Structure 1
């Protein structure tokens, strides 16, 4: 049963990774297009809003793509075991990129918010928690607490994948309810982050119980 749940989570994660990478590529294209030909976008659109602050958006989006790729590699058990030195090297890069992504997310929430106050609060919570988890991921591996480290890394990665779920919730709100991006952004961030937080915590607690049961045998 535990293996089935893990495989389901892996399958969902793969789909979310692909969707998030596609979204990131699309976002870069929109940023460039908004600079070259802003007239094709509606006034006060999120594309024009973020294009006015393109530098921080490029940092966030490009770092996010590197984050997804390095994180995906780290979570493949075969590669971790067979290429331990590469695993450690990419692990350091992953935590560095995670730091950049979280700081840029906090900066975007504070300096250039697009949605309502709920979006700002959600992004602040999201960015701050990822930053905290990144620090914990670093300190636990330095202390050679490998299992705790793996849990924090999984938190970082799976919670960050909530960005794909957030986009899907936003699309649903826009298409079905006819809401604007501004209207759905805050609620979408809060729901997506909360959903991923609950799922990963349930999975980690399940793994802890399994280890305790094995240790007691």
Structure 2
């Protein structure tokens, strides 16, 4: 069971990373387009909303790509075992990117939210969780508690990936409840973050149980 769930999580991560990188690149492209030719976007579009925090969203998007690439590298066992020094260096970049990504998310949620108060509240809760989780992961690595460190790295990475899944929930909520993007944003944030939180905690639980059983036998 644990092995099957493990493969499912990795497959989901692979798909989400590809989607998230494409989304980040598209957002950066849209940022430059909306700055130069804002009239091509419909009124009340989220793209026009970008203009209010253009530089912050640009930094956030670039950090997102760095986070995705560094996180993906960190979770490949072959590179982690073959190049431990590079793993440690990239790991520091990953955790720093995670913290800065969470900080910029929180700033955007407070200073320039597109959705309602639910979006802001959810972003605050999970943004703070990612910041704290990144510091815990770093401390555990310094203390050579590698297994616990790896669990927290996975928590940070997989929960942050929920920003891509949120796009799917937005589409679902618009289709089912006939709401606008603005109206669907808050509940979609809550659904996306909770789903990823529950999935990664289930994965960690099954992994720990499998490790205990293997030690007994």
Query: TM over 0.5, yes or no?
Result: yes
Q: What's 2:66 paired with? A: 66
The higher-RCO structure (CA 8 Å, 6+ apart) is: 2
What TM-score, normalized by structure 1, do the two folds share?
0.96
Helix, strand or coil at the partner of 1:163 = helix
Residue 114 of structure 1, CA deviation? 1.1
Q: What's 1:203 paired with? A: 203
| 39-48 vs 148-157, which moves further | 39-48
Paired residues in the alignment total 217
Residue 32 of structure 1, CA deviation? 1.0
Residue 175 of structure 1, CA deviation? 4.0
Matched, 1:91 2:91: yes
Q: What's 1:214 paired with? A: 214
Q: What's 1:117 paired with? A: 117
What TM-score, normalized by structure 2, do the two folds share?
0.96
The CA distance in 2 between the partners of 1:2 and 1:84, in whole Å, is: 26
The CA distance in 2 between the partners of 1:205 and 1:179, in whole Å, is: 36
The CA distance in 1 between the partners of 2:16 and 2:71, in whole Å, is: 13
Matched, 1:102 2:102: yes
The alignment yields a C-alpha RMSD, in angstroms, of 1.2
Helix, strand or coil at the partner of 1:53 = helix
Q: Is the contact between residue 173 and residue 184 of structure 2 (CA under 8 Å) also seen in structure 1?
A: yes
Q: What's 2:159 paired with? A: 159
Q: How does 1:1-217 map to 2 (within 5 A)?
A: 1-217=1-217
Unaligned runs of 5+ in 1: none
Residue 176 of structure 1, CA deviation? 4.6
Residue 5 of structure 1, CA deviation? 1.5
Deviations 1:110-157 (A, max 9, x none): 111111011110111121111111111111111111111000000011
Q: Is the contact between residue 41 and residue 48 of structure 2 (CA under 8 Å) also seen in structure 1?
A: yes
Helix, strand or coil at the partner of 1:52 = helix
